[in-house]
A = this chain, B = another copy of it.
Amino acid sequence: MDIATIVGVILGLIVIIGAIAVGAGAEMFFNLPSLAITIGGMLCATLIHFSLPQFLGIFSVIKKTIVTEIPSQSELIQKMVNYAAINRRDGALALEQEIGKIDDLFFIKGLQMLVDGQDHDDIRELMSLEVQYLQERHTSGKKILEFMGAAAPSFGMIGTLIGLIQMLSNLDDPSGLGAGMATALVTTFYGAFSANLIFIPLAGKLGIYSKAESTAMEMITEGVCAIARGENPSVVREKMQVFVSQGRREEVKANI
């Protein structure tokens, strides 16, 4: 569960809503027509830009990012070192039992190819293609959020322009000037706020999650190919630890 995202959203909402609440004119900030222009216009632009499946899929992508857990790097290395030991001691077929104990489809695919006795070049080729295309599919969700993060302020500005034109064309009553300008600015506020607290940072979180997932897949690929070449557990650990920052490398030994 990704605590950082949830805490960030809640704290951010508290800060902004708090600033609104303590000042005057708080009621100006809750304006349905302004919300319709800003968020409605943004959603329409997003619908035009992206395909319907991509658009509808955005919520499940965000949910997956907040809920799913990437296995820790040391956990992956420990598992792979064990498999290397099992492979050396009992042969590749013995790894068939281990397959049932993992959840990750990609890891299972790699082990299955080891059990089937495939050549390490073929394994690397197919697993790398898989990593490459996962990255392409993840990028789509990130792009939708980045587009929303640009479109929301743009439609906020369009709303402000509409408001200003309406207000300036009716300057008979100068006492309404302030309120008119305040209303006109609310759409720009909605746009800037939703973009900078929600859309842009969420796009970034999707990117971080995607990178962590493909690093894990690259580590699995390195490990499986090393086992396919018959390397011993410490070489397997070496090759996978290149991905781990210097200060966090541990002397991992097989514990089967």
Contacts from A to B (Cβ < 8 Å):
2-5, 7-9, 11-12, 15-16, 18-20, 22-26, 28-29, 33, 36-37, 40-41, 44-52, 54-55, 105, 126, 129-130, 133-134, 137, 147, 151, 154-155, 157-159, 161-171, 175, 177-179, 181-182, 185-186, 188-189, 192-193, 195-198, 200-202, 204-205, 208, 212, 238, 242-243, 245-246
Shortest distance from the beta carbon of A104 to any chain B beta carbon, whole Å: 11
Among candidates B3, B171, B193, residue contacting A158 with C-beta atoms closer than 8 Å? B193
* A162 in contact with B20 (CB, 8 Å): yes
CA distance A155 to B189 in the complex (A): 11
Q: Are B192 and A48 touching (Cβ within 8 A)?
A: no
- Flag if A45 contacts B200 (CB, 8 Å): yes
Query: Do A205 and B50 touch (CB < 8 A)?
Result: yes
- Give the distance to chain B from A36, nearest Cβ to Cβ, in Å: 6
B178, A48: Cβ atoms closer than 8 Å: no
Besides the known contacts A12-B48, A168-B185, A171-B178, 12 further A-B residue pairs in the complex with CB atoms under 8 A apart? A7-B47, A8-B48, A19-B36, A24-B166, A24-B167, A29-B165, A45-B201, A48-B198, A50-B204, A126-B238, A154-B192, A161-B192
A157-B166 Cα distance, complex, nearest whole Å: 18
Kindly report which residue of chain B lies nearest to residue A34, judged by CB atoms: B19
Residues of B within 8 A of A28 (CB): 165-166, 169
The answer for the CA separation of A140 and B155 in the assembled complex, in Å, is 27
Closest to A245 in B: B137
